[in-house]
Each structure stands twice: as C-alpha cells, then as structure tokens.
Amino acid sequence: MKQYVIDGISLQDYHKLKEYLDKHLETAALDGIYWLELERDILTPVQSAHKDCGPHVFGLMLENNYLSCELLVRIKTNIKCDCMGYSTKEQRDWLIDQTDAILEKLSICI
C-alpha cells in the first residue's frame, strides 16, 4: 500500500491529533481510522461521474507515534468500483497539504 507517513509523533501530539481528528473527520468502524473526504474539484472524471459511490475518501490511521495516510482513494458504499484507485498527483498533493495544515494548526513540529 502506498502511504504518506508522519512518524516520530510524541504522545502529547498524538492526543492533540486524536482530539482534532475525532472532532473534524468521520471515524471508521475500526478505532484509529478516519475518513478524509476529497474536495469535488479534485476528483477524476470517473470519480465525478460516480456520484452514487461518493463521497470519495482517503483513509488516515492514527497510532501512538505516527499518522499514516493511504494514497488510495476509497469509497464507502462498495467494496470495489472503477472509481477507486491510487490518487492522482493533484490528489496526493492535496492530501499532503491537508495533513501538513492540520499539523501546523495544532503546532505539531516533526
């Protein structure tokens, strides 16, 4: 699995991140997994056409000392569809920018 990983997170920063993610993102059935919804203007044509599959999301996994962001664009309605797949460069850059903005907002320096 391709991922963007931020490691070396202190326990204090973990708690700040967990509180923020619990408040601002949808949680998955598994503890520590969050869904970050992609903005509509960065969806691929196939993803945009699959409105019933939406929302399209990135999975984020928060552990005690790292945050792992999958580079796979997922859907929550089906297990598999043509609109799922690895992110485009624009989507990947957006994910990294969003993640870095959260860290900056929380004054987490890695």
Domains of the chain, by residue range, sit at 3-105
Percent of the chain with pLDDT over 90: 88
Mean pLDDT computed over every residue of the chain: 95
Residue 105 has a pLDDT of: 97
pLDDT at 81 over 90: yes
The pLDDT value recorded for residue 72 is: 97
Predicted pLDDT at 1: 85
pLDDT at 2 exceeding the cut of 90: yes
Q: Residue 74: which of 30, 20, 37 has the closest Cα?
A: 37
